[in-house]
Amino acid sequence: MPIFLVLTLLFVFIFGTIIGSFLNVCIYRIPAGQSIVRPASRCPQCGTAIRWYQNFPVLSWVALKGKCASCKAAIPWRYPMVEILTGLLFVGVLWKFGLHPATLVYWLLAAALIVITFIDLDHQIIPDVISLPGIVVGFLCSFLVPWLPWVDSLIGIVVGGGSLLLVALAYEFLTKKEGMGGGDIKLLAMLGAFLGWQAVFPIIFFSSLVGTAIGIPVMITRKADSKLALPFGPFLAVGALFYLFWGQAVIRWYWSISLPAGG
Ligand SMILES: [Zn+2]
């Protein structure tokens, strides 16, 4: 690989970890209803403000051996993991879409999905403050993505929101229980806005596959508490990212095996 390319990818990875460090703040503060800009990061245990030189993504956590510098409270390894994950996704998006405005759009989408995933895992909610503006931002971003006509984005909002709403209503009608949360419906509307209506059913399909593969072992080990459903948001996020990177290739492959040659 040319050295220029290596340096660019490294720079974008570091940029991604810095954004990831901000995403950690969002994951922690949005469900608590706190501001994500003020005050500066502090230790959740002792409240000591984190000094600027202790605020390097990943490296600080390693240097501090995963402990707060003043009270030695453990800093969960999830913090550096979210930073590394963001860095890797940023590099992956750049690798796939190159120096193009769409790369910025998909960085934004990836960042939103990381925040949604970890908040949903922690609290079983998908905050409206992300998904609702996300629907509008996703639609506006379609003007930066040449292969996503704004009409496809608009229909994506309706199909994304509508399809899960129908599933949720049918489930409630049949079981008299509330299954899917309203948060999932708004999230899928947001994904339809960012990726177009064509993405909606592949995303549902991919996320159901992942959900089944992970959900069944989890339910078996948890046993009795079958009422407690797994949050579906993280699976939708994984499904959407899978679609973003490999969706077109999988769909092409599917048609190539299901249509006879020359047919
Ligand atoms: Zn502390």
For residue 117, give the nearest of 251, 214, 221 by alpha carbon. Answer: 214
Separation between Cα atoms, residue 176 and residue 36, nearest integer Å: 39
Task: Name the residue type at position 181.
Answer: G
Residues 91-116 have a mean pLDDT of 97
Angle value at C-alpha 184, between 179 and 188, nearest 5 degrees = 135
For residue 64, how far is its CA from the centre of ligand 1 (angstroms)? Answer: 11
- Model confidence at 261, pLDDT cuts 50, 70, 90, reads low
CB neighbour list of residue 46: distance below 8 Å, 6 or more residues apart: 68, 70, 71, 73
For residue 74, how far is its CA from the centre of ligand 1 (angstroms)? Answer: 8
For residue 190, how far is its CA from the centre of ligand 1 (angstroms)? Answer: 37
For residue 170, how far is its CA from the centre of ligand 1 (angstroms)? Answer: 49
| CA-derived radius of gyration, the chain | 20
The proportion of the chain whose per-residue pLDDT surpasses 90, expressed as a percent, equals 56
39 upstream amide cis, omega within 30 of 0: yes
For residue 138, give the nearest of 199, 94, 209 by alpha carbon. Answer: 199
For residue 42, how far is its CA from the centre of ligand 1 (angstroms)? Answer: 8
- The pLDDT tens digits for 116-161 are 999 999 998 999 999 999 999 999 999 999 999 999 999 999 999 9
Contact in structure between 179 and 168 (CB atoms under 8 Å): yes
- Secondary structure letter of residue 181 according to DSSP: -
For residue 59, how far is its CA from the centre of ligand 1 (angstroms)? Answer: 18
For residue 36, how far is its CA from the centre of ligand 1 (angstroms)? Answer: 19
For residue 24, give the nearest of 9, 44, 47 by alpha carbon. Answer: 44
For residue 17, how far is its CA from the centre of ligand 1 (angstroms)? Answer: 22
Does the structure show a pLDDT above 50 at 263?
A: no
For residue 71, how far is its CA from the centre of ligand 1 (angstroms)? Answer: 4
- Written as six digits, the tokens of 9 are 């990818």
For residue 80, how far is its CA from the centre of ligand 1 (angstroms)? Answer: 17
- The pLDDT tens digits for 188-228 are 999 999 999 999 999 999 998 988 888 778 777 776 555 55
Q: Give the 3-state secondary structure percentages of the chain, helix then strand then coil, rounded to 5.
A: 70, 0, 25
For residue 48, how far is its CA from the centre of ligand 1 (angstroms)? Answer: 6
CB neighbour list of residue 117: distance below 8 Å, 6 or more residues apart: 233, 234, 237, 238
Coil/strand/helix, residue 262: coil
For residue 23, how far is its CA from the centre of ligand 1 (angstroms)? Answer: 20
For residue 66, how far is its CA from the centre of ligand 1 (angstroms)? Answer: 11
pTM of the model: 0.89
Separation between Cα atoms, residue 226 and residue 182, nearest integer Å: 20
Q: How far is CA 262 from the centre of its chain?
A: 39
- Model confidence at 180, pLDDT cuts 50, 70, 90, reads low
